[in-house]
Amino acid sequence: MTEVLTIVQDFITSDGMIKSEQRKFYQVLRTVLSTHEGTFSQTEIEQYMIVARTETLDLSDEDYKAIYDVVIERYTLSQRLEEEARLERELAEKARLRIEAEKKAREEEEARIRAEEEAKALAEARARAEEEARLKAEAEMRAKIEEEERLAAEAERRAIEEEEARKKAEEEARIAEEQRLAAEEEARIAEEQRLAAEEEARLKAEEEARLKAEEEARIAEEQRLAAIEEARLKAEEEARLKAELEAKLIAEQEENARLANEAHLKMVEEAIKITEDERLAEEAKINAELEEAKRIADEKERLALEEEAKLLAEQNAKIAAELEAKKLAEEEARIAEEQRLAEEAALEEANTKVIPDLPPLDD
């Protein structure tokens, strides 16, 4: 139905004007076609057009015939092409079968004479069947053409009977239609100028909004990348400081162990030279020094661990703040992108072309 109505609409609007009787015929045809379900055959289209014609007596024979011809020509061409394609397929299939039969006859040399006779009989029967099918198709085509010519002649006869009643009112309607069309043309030109100005302003605003959104997204991306780079550099610096601190603690522990070992060796050497009391006193002194050295080393290790924990806490706080800033920047960029996409979708929806119905007839 849409294809038929489109053909009719394109035809009656091809010269930039729509006659009132053409509009009425289009509306009546659309009404009668809407009662049909599924696809249309050519005969059904012709019948519906005749029904619409009988309800629009003020439509001229020339206009009706022109509309009728452009619609029927579409269906006649499609059917003729389909018939030709079908005949070509049949001929190709028959040729293929004939070639296969001849090949089989050559391969079966021992039964050559019998196969040739059977092939000949088969070819004659096939030719008769092809001829019968061709004659049947031609007869059906002639009957269809005769029926189409009969319906066209009947429609033309009814149109001639209605012509005299239509001609008297046609001139007055033509003058009124010309005046109306002139007024419509002036209004159309003014509307086109207004729409052109609105379109130019819309495109300019859309381009400015797009450029602004792109610039904001670029700035947000640069800020995000800068924050990531700064966080990376800070993490590398803190890792380096932590490694240096650990190396320093290990060196101090090794030095304390070395001093304790030297003190122990010194005590052993001196113990050989002194008396038992002196040895005990010296041993107590050395033990006290060792305890003090161990206490100092433990205190240094505790302070170092506290400092390391403090640095780690500060580092974690900085990383958390930087991640939060990064997340906030990404969220702002996402919101800006969604807003831009929503604006583009709204503009695209506003600019979507809607095919309207025929314009209303001005009284």
Span 15-24, pLDDT tens digits: 777 888 889 9
Q: Answer yes or no: is 240 within a domain.
A: yes
Sign, CA torsion 9/173/175/69: positive
- Mean residue pLDDT of the chain comes to 87
Question: How confident is residue 356, by pLDDT bands cut at 50, 70 and 90?
Answer: low
Q: Answer yes or no: is 109 within a domain.
A: yes
Q: Is 178 left (phi over 0), alpha (psi -120 to 50) or beta?
A: alpha
CA 120 vs CA 97, 98, 105, 142, 216: distances in Å: 13, 10, 11, 32, 86
Q: Is 276 helix (H, G, I), strand (E, B) or coil?
A: helix
Higher pLDDT, 74 or 181: 181
What letters, b where the CB count within 10 A reaches 16 and e where it falls short, cover 236-246?
eebeeeeeeee
CA 172 vs CA 53, 179, 240: distances in Å: 21, 11, 100
Please tell me the predicted confidence (pLDDT) of residue 3: 81
Rounded to whole angstroms, how far apart are CA atoms 211 and 82? Answer: 55
Per-residue pLDDT tens for 186-236?
999 999 999 999 999 999 999 998 999 899 989 989 999 998 899 899 989
Per-residue pLDDT tens for 123-175?
999 999 999 999 999 999 999 999 999 999 999 999 999 999 999 999 999 99
Please tell me the predicted confidence (pLDDT) of residue 358: 64
Q: Answer yes or no: is 9 within a domain.
A: no
In one letter, which amino acid is 103? K
Q: Answer yes or no: is 105 within a domain.
A: yes
Q: Answer yes or no: is 206 within a domain.
A: no
Q: Answer yes or no: is 190 within a domain.
A: no
**Considering its fold, how many domains does the chain have in total?**
1
Question: How confident is residue 359, by pLDDT bands cut at 50, 70 and 90?
Answer: low
pTM for the model: 0.26
Per-residue pLDDT tens for 35-49?
887 777 778 888 888
Q: Answer yes or no: is 147 within a domain.
A: yes
Per-residue pLDDT tens for 238-273?
889 989 988 998 998 889 889 888 888 887 777 667
Q: Answer yes or no: is 205 within a domain.
A: no
Domain enclosing residue 245, as ranges? 60-184+214-332
- Cβ-proximal residues to 362 (8 Å cutoff; 6+ apart), any chain: 180, 183, 184
Q: Determine the Cα angle at 125 with ends 119 and 131, to 5°.
A: 130
